[in-house]
Chains A and B, each alone.
Chain A
Amino acid sequence: MATYNLKINGKIRQVNVDPATPLLWVLRDHLDLPGTKYGCGVAQCGACTVHLDGTAVRSCQLPASAIGKQAVTTIEGLSAKGDHPVQKAWLEHDVAQCGYCQAGQMMSAASLLKTNPKPTDEEIDAYMSGNICRCGTYLRIKEAIKSTAKK
């Protein structure tokens, strides 16, 4: 067990966990931030995507000990009022079916748009293909990303 002061959604949160505990479970089980989802635990589905210093990472693969001073942003902290351009685009296109994968999809999309504000279809595919949607909402996700890029 070790104590960490993690910077999460702009706040310092203290946790006492086994250093190997993936950030995903730190968020879900210790910090009551269940917006970040478990889908595979092996970096294959993207449901657990969060931002580490603004870049998308798979939180199921990131041990608590490796976070250090890097800032973590989860879906709960993507925007204060749920009005990040990606979130707005997701509502506008009514993207979700079951919705389970969508936090991960939005975190990936927000990270993509930050470095590449006008991605092509191919760039969207390349960046987003680590995020599985079992309900098959891929077309709407792409439309939502593209509509954000237009603004």
Chain B
Amino acid sequence: MNTTKTTHNRRSFLKTSLLSGGGMMLSVSWLSSFKSADKLQTLNLPEQSAMLNGYIQITADNVVKLLCPNPEFGQNVMTSLPMIVAEELDVDWKNVVVEMGPHDNTKLGAQFTGGSNSVRMYWKPLREAGAAARHLLRQAAAQTWNVPVEEVTTKAGVLSHANGKSANYGEMAGKAATLEVPKGLKLKAPKDFTIVRKSKKNVEGQKIITGKPLFGLDYRVDGMLIAMIQHPPAFGMKLKSFDALQTLKMPGIKEVFSLKLYEDGFEQGGFDTRTFNDLLVVVGKTTWEVMNARKKLLAQWEPVGDTKDVMAGRGGKREVVVPGGLESTSTQLEKMQELSQKPAQQLRKDGDPETAFQHAAQVIERTYNAPFLAHNCMEPMNFFAHVTDEKAVLAGPLQAPGWIEPTLSKILNLPADKIEIQMTRMGGGFGRRAYGHYLTEAALISRKAKAPVKLIYTREDDMTYGIYRPMYTATYRAALDANKNLIAFHVKGGGIPEHAIHANRFPAGAVENYLAEGWQIPSNITIGAFRAPRSNFNAAAEQSFLDEVAEAMGKDPIEFRLELLKRAKENPVGKNNEYDPDRYAGVLTLVRDKSGWNKPGNEKYNRGVAAYFCHNSYAAHVVDIVTRDGQPYVERVFSAMDCGIVINPDAATNMVQGAVVDGIGNAFYGALTHKNGAAEQSNFHNYRLIRHNEAPKSIDVHFVENDLDPTGLGEPPFPPVFGAVANALYKNKGKRFYNQPFQNEMDKRM
């Protein structure tokens, strides 16, 4: 991980320049401070943002071009980020052209899509960029018309003065480009927004519906070859030897070679995770030819044994032992069961939980389990690379070009300015494409093949050669006194290879005696961020457990949560509570009101509720299940979100609806299991994804209206879906489900 400059003092450098044809270009560089506790924990990002720079270009014929700094994977940043600039620039959205920016962390900032960061991170800088450009245009008009700048107004890209003079931005752009950039600009009050908070269509909508080549898999150049990797058949195995004779005889095949991704001792950054280090590569002319020829490889594999990875990190270099062995899900579950009984690391303690549990009138204890999950981005991993001795050009789907560039620079022995990474639209990301190993693989293959190459993972490669959501477990205990008051709460979480516990989150702060503990089991199965890392398990387990506790206390589940939040607000227990009780309660009351919770008219439904805070935002859902063809079916969902100011409401609604569908699908069906190190699922015939007929008929999304700076939306709605589904399922089936995926537990397959 590389941090460029960091500072807590906000300074900005704005630079104007003349565009050919007489327009203006405004470059804005910021040294800005921003802090994100959540992101630091879940994604190991640097503590402050790097330099940030936004581009606005206005041509003499009044075309306004805005660059999107962050890669797009379906969360609609290519529309929402430019909307933020356009708002302060006060331009007619119809005249705006959006382009994906180049990878340039110095000029365009962190350029990382993930952690629900895009809008949160760019909100202020992009507003300031827009405001600065608008001011320069007003100044240019003031000078031209010989009037004070304060008297020049703007409206939708037109400058005017009370004396009747008016001009569009394009006419003043050339002059504006010669002016000094002002200091201390005032930003609009939210009540004056005309673009932000008004739904705008996806700027790439027309290209998507006409099948334009937007994605990495669509990228091609003349003479480009196709490469595929044959990876070991199981975690814990490596290549011993191979015979490519038959493969090389197949039509279109150029060469077969083996490749070491990282040399021994290579210092890996946090996002350099790779699944297998020794790769067998087939290079040929077309995808189908390479796919077929690869099947003819005769490869011998052998156990890797324990290996050592060297990790670079903030605390300096450290060695991590990756255990050898061929792991199976059944034995992993046994091991987790065993470790859950042993002492664990204490993560937080308030009051005296041990005594409280000893004196409890009733103790409720439940254990929850969840499997590895494969991301299954619709577009499998792939990347284009053309590497020569002088430079490297790469193009494809990637969430964080700035994280892989230093790795490439070291491995290819090329300075960063000789590495060009183009960001294509991504066919989904969900955290998977934060790990750029497939890009490094493509680069090494291109260098060895001495040709432009596109590395393609088949669906089977993508699923069995993954960086999965870890396998988690957690045991929750609640102590009630004789009057059924909650007097103590204990969570002990574990996982392979990490636990999911966020010790300072709700209900920490709301219960007098509280204990959080964690333990972990190392593994050679590679894991990484998956939409709302850790939270996606916690919300499932904790929110199911709270439902059960409320029931034992004879309380309504929403009222019970609101009471706890009231306590956390008025008389918080302990320190470092991460959430804002008011915002948390806000989404609960909103979803209660919108769903008609406890109101007549909903008798046909088995209802479940859950709420969660993660990635700086708050989400609550009410899930309504009916029985359809003998099976529980989520027919209706109500969602309430608090993510501060919503930039693009319709697109935000789309994203929440998508998160709900994703959550229902993974709660019911998602699972990646292993036998002797080999993934037991390889394609969509045995890895079940939610389909049209299983999606709800309606998902009614509501946003808390406030003027808070945006706090992010891609991840927060996802985790509580699991809990709400579990709670509704209990009402539907009359029994609680503790093991994901629920469909397997219903069918007794786990």
Contact = CB atoms under 8 A, between A and B. Distances in A.
A98 B685 contact: no
A18 B695 contact: no
A97 B76 contact: yes
B659 A96 contact: no
Given A39-B378, A45-B684, A91 B699 contact: no
A125 B693 contact: yes
Nearest to A92: B201
B693 A134 contact: no
Contact of B660 (A32, A36, A136): A136
A96 B205 contact: yes
B596 interface: no
Contact of A99 (B74, B287, B380): B74
A35 B210 contact: yes
Contact of A82 (B209, B459, B661, B692): B209
B211 A103 contact: yes
A99 B689 contact: no
B287 A137 contact: no
A117 interface: no
A131 B251 contact: no
B411 interface: no
Interface string B413-441: 00000000000011111100000000000
A98 B692 contact: no
B379 A37 contact: yes
Contact of B695 (A37, A126, A138): A138
Interface in B184-223: 199, 201-202, 204-206, 208-215, 217-218, 220
Contacts of A136: 657-662, 665, 690, 695
A102 B208 contact: yes
Interface in A37-76: 37-42, 44-45, 47, 74-76
Contacts of B685: 42, 44
A139 B425 contact: no
B35 interface: no
Contact of B683 (A44, A94, A129): A44
Interface in A70-97: 74-76, 82, 87, 90-91, 94-97
Contacts of B350: none
A40 B459 contact: yes
Classify the secondary structure of A's interface with B: loop
B288 A75 contact: no
A91 B378 contact: no
B178 interface: no
B223 to A, nearest CB: 13
A97 B287 CA distance: 27
Given A98-B74, A134-B378, A138-B661, A40 B683 contact: yes
B6 interface: no
B104 interface: no
A16 to B, nearest CB: 11
Contact of B287 (A25, A121, A135, A141): A25
Interface string A115-136: 0000001001110111111111
B507 to A, nearest CB: 29
A40 B685 CA distance: 9
B650 interface: yes
B215 A44 contact: no
A99 B425 contact: yes
B377 interface: yes
A126 B654 contact: no
Nearest to A21: B288
Contacts of B684: 39-40, 42, 44-45, 132
A21 B291 CA distance: 11
A91 B692 contact: no
A45 to B, nearest CB: 6
Contact of A132 (B205, B660, B691): B691
Given A100-B378, A138-B661, A18 B218 contact: no
Interface string B55-77: 00000000000000000011110
A1 to B, nearest CB: 7
A120 to B, nearest CB: 12
Given A98-B425, A138-B692, A87 B210 contact: yes
Contact of A129 (B74, B693, B698): B693
A101 interface: yes
Interface residues of A, number: 60
A25 B698 contact: no
B289 interface: yes
B260 interface: no
A124 B430 CA distance: 28
A131 B691 CA distance: 7
Interface string A13-45: 000011001100100111011111111111011
B428 to A, nearest CB: 5
Nearest to B456: A38
A125 B692 contact: yes
A20 B206 CA distance: 34
A34 B692 contact: no
A142 interface: yes
A34 B659 contact: no
A106 interface: yes
B458 interface: yes
B287 A75 contact: no
Nearest to B72: A98
Interface in B368-391: 376-380
Contacts of B201: 91, 94
B425 A141 contact: no
A61 B701 CA distance: 39
B651 A94 contact: yes
Given A132-B378, A134-B376, A140-B657, A121 B202 contact: no
Nearest to B637: A139
A123 B378 CA distance: 24
A28 B471 CA distance: 37
B733 interface: no
Nearest to B212: A35
A117 to B, nearest CB: 19
A98 B427 contact: yes
B589 interface: no
A47 B378 contact: yes
Given A91-B205, A99-B74, A132-B378, A82 B251 contact: no
Contacts of B650: 94
A101 B215 CA distance: 11
Contact of B692 (A75, A87, A142): A142
A75 B379 contact: no
Nearest to B426: A98
Given A35-B210, A91-B201, A136-B662, 6 more contacts: A29-B226, A29-B288, A91-B206, A96-B74, A100-B215, A136-B659
23 contacts: A28-B218, A30-B286, A34-B211, A37-B379, A39-B684, A40-B683, A87-B209, A90-B209, A94-B651, A95-B654, A98-B377, A99-B204, A99-B214, A100-B215, A101-B378, A101-B427, A129-B691, A134-B662, A135-B378, A136-B690, A138-B661, A139-B657, A140-B654
